Amino acid sequence: MRSTIADARDEPAEPTGARRNQDLDSPETTIARAALLRRRAYLRRLYARWYRWIAARLPPVEGEVLEIGSGGGFIAEAIPGTITSDVSPLPGIDRVVDARRIPFADGGLRAVVATNAIHHLPDVAAFLEECSRCLAVGGRLVAIEPWPTAWSRIVYRRLHHEPFDEARDWTLPPGGPLTAANGALPWIVLVRDRAEFLRRFPRLRIVAIEPTMPVSYLACGGIGRAWRLPGWSFDLIRSLEAPFDRLGLFARIVLERTR
């Protein structure tokens, strides 16, 4: 996808191979996706649902809310005052932030939030250490990330361009900000290697891990394609899929700093 905001009305499907990888890491791709997200009513409703869920789980403590990997999202509209950030300077981003070195004082954050970002972090251990440091006592990391279930494994391994390797360690394959990824990374850290997680981050408590959305994100082609579906159809699909959330493509994750 080479579109910009100005010419993103009829975006082609994302290219394949090396060119796609180059394009995915281009700031122009994120800018085009931001325009797409605002124009596609279905996808916008889906993200708005995610943001409402995040907002409902923010803790009642003092401090700022920082989003990492903000990209083309619009969380600040749903949660006013959120500090948006990304690893690259982008339109609408408040700060350029490397998640391995979060530029906030010890205990200065009420929450760190993320949607579809943690599985792109090249050093997830450093990020969690920073969360443990920067969050106030009672502060939370609230995130929505890809998650392995019986259904999602089929989708991610056969229909999605990003790696989804449950056997890998906590590092990522080589790549850029978006092409470097492992969709299974949050599960690896929080479930497969939970004993190591608890040992390395004793101040972070796992409050919730809730699989969700087995169909609704897939139905619209995701942020890369965002097929034209009427906005009302998201609410219908979401109501029909909710009883099967245990098979979801994503998990809603809440970690809390305890001391």
CA distance 94 to 84: 5
Length of the chain: 259
Instruction: Give the count of domains, the chain.
Output: 1
Total-model pTM: 0.90
pLDDT at 11: 40
Mean of the pLDDT values across residues 210-217? Answer: 98
pLDDT at 9 over 60: no
Residue 199 lies in a domain: yes
pLDDT at 4 over 80: no
Residue 38 lies in a domain: no
pLDDT at 155 over 70: yes
Mean of the pLDDT values across residues 185-201? Answer: 98
Residue 246 lies in a domain: yes
Residue 6 lies in a domain: no
Mean of the pLDDT values across residues 109-128? Answer: 97
Are the beta carbons of 168 and 107 closer than 8 angstroms? no
pLDDT at 7: 31
Residue 243 lies in a domain: yes
Are the beta carbons of 162 and 181 closer than 8 angstroms? yes
**How confident is the model over 88-104, as pLDDT tens digits?**
999 989 999 999 999 99
Residue 24 lies in a domain: no
Residue 29 lies in a domain: no
**Percent of the chain clearing pLDDT 90 (strictly above):** 81
pLDDT at 183: 97
Are the beta carbons of 163 and 183 closer than 8 angstroms? yes
**Percent of the chain clearing pLDDT 70 (strictly above):** 92
Mean of the pLDDT values across residues 9-38? Answer: 66
CATH number of the domain residue 245 falls in: 3.40.50.150
pLDDT range class, residue 247, cuts 50, 70, 90:
very high
Residue 204 lies in a domain: yes
The residue that leads in pLDDT, 26 or 239, is 239
Half-sphere exposure of 93 (CA within 13 A, CB side): 20
Spatial strand order in the sheet of 109-115: 95-96, 83-86, 64-67, 109-115, 135-146, 250-257, 204-212
Mean of the pLDDT values across residues 52-60? Answer: 98
- For residue 127, what are the domain limits? 43-257
